[in-house]
Amino acid sequence: MVSNETKNRPRLWVDFPPLAYAKGEFYFVGVMPLASKGVIYIVIDSFHPRALRHCREKGKLPALSFLIERGHLDESCISIFPTVTPSCTSTLATGDHPAQHGIPGMVWYHRGERRIICYGANWLSILKSGVYQSSMDFFFNLNHKHLGWDVRTIYEDLESQGITTAAANPFIYRGNDEYDAKIPLSIKLTTLFELDKGKIHGPKKLCLGQLHQPPGNLDLVTEDVRYWKNFGINDKVSVAAATWFLQQDERPDLLTIYFPDTDSVAHSENADCCEPCLTNVDKHLSKILDCFDSWEQALEEYVFVLVGDHAQSTLEKGKRAFIKIPEILKQYSQARLGENPVEGKDIAICSNARTAYIYILQHRQGMRKDIMKKLLAELISIR
């Protein structure tokens, strides 16, 4: 039950369509418009409409189907560009495009810092950047340095109005409350304790894997927060934290939940990520709905908004699926991940899956035209 103290606080007024921040791949709404209720805002990484249709036709998504049948499904929403998680989740948390919020991709060149930024795309990139720099960029710099201070996150906005927010494993978490970050022991060891502490700012109620857990009796399975489970940034911890927040006497007005696990499977195995990823998400959603006396009661108390940050596309296997930009532009000296600072290089190539940024660091007459000519020639040759 929600305490009287909770009921007396300012509540979110949700009109249709819900939340200016909900600009992902698509979303569902589990209630009728214009009601004074809390909001549960769920971001599912790599959530594709084809996967949803496929699993619903097989009757394997009871929780998602429950929300769709009592609300609204919109498949016409599109992700921002580029369709990579740091950029998309920054937009979902701020309502602004990358040009405004300042996170242009998973990999990008920071002209002020004169280095290539990478938020840990894979283990090789972590090794190239160095464990210390990769950890600093992902755990701290992304939210507190690179995310622009000219924009405000949903947590900063709402809590400044007296509305209580909570977040379970958010990718973008910047808020008004300061916390001590708990650095995982494996990172302390690999950085020779150069990184052993830090401060983060998040919403009033926050669970962020190993990095921060709310005070109280949130009982996480040790296995689920190990380094091979992304230090607790995974679906199991997300649903454990979300259900814990909802089981407290004082429930949050806004609860955001991030489910990241579908992304890795979509990249490596199945772009549509139908099963078991989406069926697992549905089980997690069932646990959230079960926190209430009934699923119908959940809709009496909260608006449910589900979005996908982006989806995946299946590529052809073999060399036709790749454009080797560094080789095509080998006549130009190129900045490398891990160089800090970059000095005396012509260009920086920052690959973001199907997108690549090419930064001209030392401009010469005709250089831009020559780069475009070489890239277009390569595209024509593989068609």
Q: H-helix or E-strand containing 49?
A: helix 49-57
pLDDT > 70 fraction of the chain, expressed in percent and rounded: 81
Where along the chain do the CATH 3.40.720.10 domains lie?
Answer: 12-103+147-308
Range picked from 45-54, 63-72, 304-313 for highest mean pLDDT: 63-72
Confidence of residue 177 (pLDDT cuts 50, 70, 90): very high
pLDDT at residue 22 tops 70: no
Q: Report the b/e string of 242-272 with b at 16+ CB within 10 A.
A: bbbbbebeebbbbbbbbbbbbbebbeeebbb
**Cα angle 171, 172, 173; round to 5:** 110
Q: What is the pLDDT of residues 288-346, one digit of tens each?
A: 999 999 999 999 999 999 998 887 766 666 666 678 899 999 999 999 999 999 999 99
Give domain 12-103+147-308's CATH superfamily: Alkaline Phosphatase, subunit A (3.40.720.10)
Tens of pLDDT, residue by residue over 181-194, are 999 898 999 999 99
Measured CA to CA, the distance from residue 272 to residue 46 in angstroms comes to 8
